[in-house]
Amino acid sequence: MIKKGTSILASAAVLGIVCAAISARADDRDHERAYKAVRSGEILPLSRVLPLVREAVPGEILEVEIEREHGKWIYEIEVLRADGRVVELHVDGRSGHLLREDDDREHEHEDHDDD
């Protein structure tokens, strides 16, 4: 019985490592595609986007991601506002226009609704 439990744990650990490696490779490809998009002028570099974000929503930038959604590059930027709220901004990668502002507290409630 102990051997079976150890075998299951070992299999789960190996599966976790394999999944993490696959995810890391996918992230590397995403970063490479984003880098090429900036170099080709398809999207604005972060150095041009951040001042626009700071002007629209003053606060401390906590995290930045870039993703391809529905054929468009979207910067997802988390900002800690002066009032203490954390918001996620969706910014068009090509134009730098603010597309959407989500309050992160709304997402926290959605996550807890499933419990």
pLDDT band at 31 (very low <50, low <70, confident <90, very high): confident
Indicate the pTM of the whole model.
0.66
50 with 13, same domain? Answer: no
Distance CA 3, CA 6 (A): 5
**Residue for token pair 């075998």:** 7
Domain that holds residue 25: 1-42
Distance CA 102, CA 110 (A): 13
2 with 24, same domain? Answer: yes
29 with 47, same domain? Answer: no
Whether 15 shows a pLDDT value over 50: the answer reads: no
55 with 36, same domain? Answer: no
Whether 47 shows a pLDDT value over 70: the answer reads: yes
Average pLDDT, the chain: 77
